Amino acid sequence: MHISLAHSPDPDDAFMFYALAQGKIDTRGYEFEHILQDIQTLNERASRGELDVTAVSIHAYAHLAKDYALLRSGASMGDGYGPLVVGKTIFTRDELLRVRIAIPGKLTSAWLALLLFLGCKPEEVNAIVVPFDQIFAAVSEGRADAGLIIHEGQLTYAEEGFVASVDLGKWWNERTGGLPLPLGGNAIRRSLGPEAMAEISDILQASIRYGLEHRKDGVHHAMPLGRGLDFERTDRFVGMYVNDLTIDYGPRGREGVKEFLRCGHAAGLVPPVEVEFI
């Protein structure tokens, strides 16, 4: 069976699917077509039901649960760290409501987390959508005063001359008494049927386990998508977002997802959703 498998062009997703891409594990007769696109595009494609298995923002999943279930593996969780708001100067929470902020997409979990932090509706923020890898440029060029940074920019922002106003993963951890901030997950199309969904879940989990067991090879595989990160920092970034919570959400991870979406719904930002893990 042909399966479209989509993920972001960044090191942690590449590391997760290293074993699958390189034929290191048994695919049980499934043929996986790897599709690499930015997370906002994947969120939008999933909303149209175009992909069998795809990385999605947990924020976006609130709008996709009718057609997709979350796989038990593949989560990107910020456990005491996460997306950052950066700029040439530090802004207070009140100032962030007045300045222009470059964001990586309005379905990203980083955007939902920022709205929860600010305690406001989307229309109350002066936000512009910029591809995630162009946010530094938008701030440097003055098109935005601050930028909402995801992916490896969390490690390199200081080198670009920026300072951080808030770490949303740290804020969420403190707000919830220690829960990780759920950023992305792997979603699978329900129309594939229970048997295929379960088998594909096992295959993707095996790919993540293999990468963690052969970490050096997996990091080398991921480096071309690191946008200039050396081996050490690629390994560090992979470790932030591919770990035990990625193999399986576990109780903390599952509660983190549910609490994040509960808070989003309570704030009037997402619809109510029952989360199912496959």
**151 catalytic residue (yes or no):** yes
Question: Residue 247 is encoded by which pair of tokens?
Answer: 């193999």
How far is 208 from 16, CA to CA, in rounded Å? 5
Same domain for 89 and 162? yes
Domain stop point among 117, 142, 176: 176
146-149 and 84-87: which strand pairing?
A: antiparallel
**273 in a structural domain:** no
Question: Residue 264 is encoded by which pair of tokens?
Answer: 């989003």
Same domain for 185 and 72? yes
pLDDT of residue 120: 96
Domain stop point among 160, 176, 192: 176
- Residue 255, CA distances (Å) to 67, 155, 242, 252 in order: 22, 27, 18, 5
Model confidence, pTM: 0.94
Which of the residues in the chain have pLDDT under 50? none
**215 in a structural domain:** yes
Q: How many domains does the chain have?
A: 2
Same domain for 90 and 171? yes
Same domain for 185 and 172? no
Q: CA quadruple 140, 141, 145, 147: dihedral positive or negative?
A: negative
Domain stop point among 135, 154, 176: 176
How far is 229 from 239, CA to CA, in rounded Å? 14
Q: Which of 151, 214, 221, 265 is catalytic?
A: 151
pLDDT of residue 152: 80
Q: SS3 of 100, please?
A: strand
Question: Residue 225 is encoded by which pair of tokens?
Answer: 């998508």
**226 in a structural domain:** yes
Q: Is 11 exposed, middle or buried (0-12, 13-18, 19+ CB in 10 A)?
A: buried
Domain around 112: 84-176
Same domain for 69 and 195? yes
Instruction: Report the CATH number that the domain containing residue 147 is assigned in CATH.
Output: 3.40.190.10
The residue type at 230: D
